[in-house]
Amino acid sequence: MSKNGGDSLKKFLTLIILLGIAIFILTNAELFTLVWKSDLESVIGILKENLSLTFLVTFVLMFVQNSFTIIPLILLLTINVTIFGFLYGYLWSWFSSVVASGLIFYAARNWFQDLLLKKLDKKWQESVVEHGFMYVFTGRVFPLIPTSLINLAAGVSSVTFKDFLVATTLGNLIYFFFLSLIPYGLLTVEMNQYTLAALALLFLLFFVIYKRVKKKKNQRIFRKNR
């Protein structure tokens, strides 16, 4: 299959997935309205009666959160850990967030990259490519930038999908763990300073590992080209 043919197939498949999600939301508008109103008791009561529906709804909610960040992430984690328990709720939230982020990344890359790259500064593009992993990872662990913007910015840039996926997987694994503790009352406002300190230490650890791996990779490339 030619490159153009492969790109067209990716665009088509991405469009089908997006349309499917949109149709699912429209056919379950009442349930998603309850989520929008933060009526957790009603939402959890409905979802507990149908496990398959629970997986679909919580995944679509995570997709919406990664697309527009109009639903608080803590709300989704509260639903998941309440229904599935702490461990499985945490793991499902993490897994669904990674898949949803990947879909948004592909949608942005296949539909908007060519258009937006022409309007972006070349130096910014080079910087994002060079520090792609840390750019995404930092945004996941320290959510000062909305999740949706990270996904879209990475998608329209030249960040490799591998770097994006690994950074998202590791970053969300850390951040979601702390968020999952809140519904159980194991993390409170008073503990925020300790949470931030722990996140800072974890960030520093991954940063050191990343720099060492990158240094060794550059050394191998240098020796190979000599």
How far is CA 147 from each of CA 25, 134, 199, rounded to the nearest angstrom?
20, 15, 17
Q: Which tens digit of pLDDT belongs to each residue from 71-112?
A: 889 899 999 999 999 999 999 999 999 999 999 998 888 877
Q: How many domains does the chain have?
A: 1
pLDDT category, 125, cuts 50, 70, 90?
low
In this structure, what token pair is assigned to residue 161? 């999908």
CB atoms within 10 A of CB 193: 9
Please check whether residue 64 is in contact with residue 33, taking contact to mean a CB–CB distance below 8 angstroms: no
Instruction: Determine the residue type at 7.
Output: D
Structural domain contains residue 107: yes
Structural domain contains residue 83: yes
Helical residues (DSSP H) of 2-121, grouped into ranges: 3-27, 29-36, 40-47, 51-68, 73-84, 86-111, 113-117
Q: Which tens digit of pLDDT belongs to each residue from 5-44?
A: 566 777 788 888 889 999 999 999 999 999 988 898 999 9
The region of weakest confidence among 151-155, 178-182, 183-187 is 183-187
Structural domain contains residue 219: yes
| pLDDT score for 99 | 95
CA gap 202, 205 in Å, rounded: 5
Q: Which tens digit of pLDDT belongs to each residue from 35-63?
A: 988 898 999 999 988 888 899 999 999 99
Structural domain contains residue 6: no
Structural domain contains residue 120: yes
Location of structure tokens 């469009």: 15
pLDDT category, 219, cuts 50, 70, 90?
low
The residue-averaged pLDDT of 105-130 equals: 68
Q: Above pLDDT 70, what percent of the chain? A: 71
Structural domain contains residue 16: no
| pLDDT score for 189 | 45
Q: Which domain holds residue 204?
A: 61-225
CA gap 219, 212 in Å, rounded: 11
Structural domain contains residue 215: yes
Which burial class, exposed, middle or buried, applies to 205 when counting CB atoms under 10 A from its CB (0-12, 13-18, 19+)?
exposed
Structural domain contains residue 40: no
User: pTM score > 0.85 for this model?
Assistant: no
Rank 51-55, 142-146, 152-156, 189-193 by mean pLDDT and report only the highest. Answer: 51-55
